[in-house]
Structure 1
């Protein structure tokens, strides 16, 4: 049976896990120490207009100013109707106030990506109040179901100047249920507009729901047998929301009261730990190695001790098929977005390559993010891109190593010692240098004083400067 498990016993961290039996297939962790801004709505002020980037920078109350591209600016904010090609300097002005929504979280030294085209997600619908040309039906819904939903959408009483998208949760819902969801979103938009008039920018107008409410809204389907929550307060919060939005599922919300921790009961703590590891073992004895870089995420497959096949080609195929399934799972657990390059074990037969490609696509069908998958190249590489729904698990739950600055390696003692010795010599050669002090790690000091004492003495004699190693 599929279950949603909500662990809310620690106020610093809320965790939501989706399991099928005892196999973890999706995970969402929200840290109290790291505020999530995605989907929040702010009143901001334009601080700088950059024509070369065709964008504006907006102070919306965050430490870094947000980035607002011209294509994400509604014409309602233009000072005058543009003629021909739009010049951002002509239609916007510094100091102008705008209502913006965070589309992408801050990453590294980049500010948040903003849009003025607001999207309000409900249970069955997404309302775009200032984007009438947008709308339609979720791309994940196909065939006859699209036609049924299109008819239901046409039956809704909605303002003509607003856009609507039907979510996958809208499948099988009546027009009355969708109308109720739409009315709720319209009331919310009215409240947001009224709140935006209260004071001058920058300030937060609307905060997206926490991970518990988001998970119930986005993931709770008919196939989820029960929702187990290990906190009374979190259960009350979930029940309040569910009775308002989808009362038919209220009976699925249950309080977990066992003395054994919830995630331990379903044996998923060890599975969660794999999402923080660089190397993930495969059942056959092979492994996958996941390395995020600035430009892309590289994933390497190693056969290692894998002996599943009858010959080398069969072993390669079986290990790659196993890896395809685990990679799709790890992408969801880690919430990896952007460009991903997978280095599969070399396979000679073209049919084996096609089988692995099909396996990758099949395993990614359940992914909520938009995914584009290429084909295996002659170098054995498969390129794919995955929509970045939120910061990855590594970004939201980790910090960059202060020793290696995220590179994963530091210079060895000998290399570092010689570099420092050259620096000491350079400083000693400068005019009027009487003394050079070098404060270094103990292993480096030991190497310099034992292995390079003669070199240090020669520098002192030549430069007449005193050298002290601390």
Structure 2
């Protein structure tokens, strides 16, 4: 029984491949041996990766995955796709982006953008293995000949797809419907991260409450822990709020606690983030 790497090579290897890099010697020997058996003339393209930098970082694989599987897929010409998934179907919207054209060649420009989008859509269907019903909203074209050109072009591109599929001609609303059989479980790669400031809720603590938190913690550090030479690190906006003006908050703290509190702006902090640093340049845990 073949392992996963050999199965993958069997399914996708074709004359267009110029290099196949492998990061481990054992897997390199296995793949090279397998390629020698099925296609001896391509054995030389299998190469052992020897650089110190991780192979995914060297070739930018993770960045490409994030770009390819996001909700928005950018196209080389400035147009972009918006891919939405629902329980019933998948929807792909084609947008011209920053590509503009005069009224005289607007139709031709729409055809070029749609053809560029069709090429990427055919690729996305294979990459994500999107199964079921796929509805594509191409840019409107008024000439029936252009709609037929696009339909034929998409059908030609889909010939590379091993999954069974059916493509319907554009409807009167310019929508193209595709039904496609899923070959493997659909790829669902998370391309967004939770905001560190709000934890994904979309809300942060009110700034007026933030200042209460800072003062309460400062009072505890100075009066309960008897710390000296304390530095407060905050977002630049908060630093300005504390230090600017004649009767600023920093000066009031000096009269209240009998010591000067240094306030340091950190542009990398989010708005309601703050930390207290001791005279030994260590963070004071609260």
* 1:227 paired to 2:51: no
Match of 2:271 in 1: none
Of 328, 337, 341, 2:122 maps to 328
Note the alpha carbon deviations across 1:181-221, whole angstroms, 9 max, x for none: xxxxxxx7xxxxxxxxxxxxxxxxxxx732x1112122223
Flag structure 2 segments of 5+ consecutive residues without an equivalent: 195-199, 210-286
Tell me the TM-score normalized by structure 2: 0.59
| Gap change, CA 1:296 and 1:250, over 3 Å in 2 | same
Instruction: Look up the SS of the partner of 1:340 in the other structure.
Output: strand
Shift of 1:312: 3.0
Q: Pick from 320, 332, 353 the counterpart of residue 147 of structure 2.
A: 353
Partner in structure 1 of residue 176 of structure 2: 382
- Residues 285 and 307, structure 1, Cα contact 8 Å, conserved in 2: no
The CA distance in 1 between the partners of 2:42 and 2:112, in whole Å, is 40
Where do 1:294-373 residues align within 5 Å?
Answer: 294-307=87-100, 310-373=104-167
Query: 1:237: Cα distance to partner?
Result: 2.8
Change (3 A) 1:334 1:246: same
Q: Deviations over 1:388-440 (max 9, x none)?
A: 1111220xx459x99xxxxxx99x99xxxxxxxxxxxxxxxxxxxxxxxxxxx
Assess, with a 3 A threshold, how the Cα gap between structure 1 residues 240 and 291 changes in structure 2: closer, same or farther.
Answer: same
> Is the CA contact 1:239–1:250 (under 8 Å) kept in the aligned structure 2?
yes
CA contact (8 A) 1:344 1:381 kept: yes
The alpha carbon displacement at 1:247 in A equals: 5.0
Distance between the aligned counterparts of 1:287 and 1:245, measured in 2?
39
Q: Residue 278 of structure 1 is aligned with which of 66, 71, 85?
A: 71
Quote the Cα distance in structure 1 between the aligned partners of 2:127 and 2:62: 13
Change (3 A) 1:321 1:220: closer
Q: Against the structure 1 CA distance between its residues 359 and 263, is the aligned structure 2 distance closer, same or farther, given a 3 Å change threshold?
A: farther
CA contact (8 A) 1:284 1:308 kept: no
Indicate the residue corresponding to 2:262 in structure 1: none
Change (3 A) 1:273 1:243: same
Give the C-alpha shift of residue 301 in structure 1.
Answer: 1.1
Equivalent-residue separation in structure 2 for 1:341 and 1:368 (angstroms): 19
TM-score by length of 1: 0.38
Would the alpha carbon gap of residues 217 and 355 (structure 1) be closer, same or farther in structure 2, given more than 3 Å must change?
Answer: same
- 1:370 touches 1:387 (CA, 8 Å); kept in 2? yes
Instruction: Return the alpha-carbon distance in structure 2 between the equivalents of residues 283 and 242 of structure 1.
Output: 33
* Cα deviation, residue 313, structure 1: 2.3
CA distance in 2, matches of 1:330, 1:223: 19
Total equivalences in the alignment: 201
Alignment of 1:254-265 (within 5 A): 254-263=47-56, 265=58
What SS does the aligned partner of 1:274 have?
Answer: helix
Q: Deviations over 1:330-377 (max 9, x none)?
A: 222222222110011111111111121122122222223233211100
Aligned partners of 1:289 and 1:301 also within 8 Å: yes
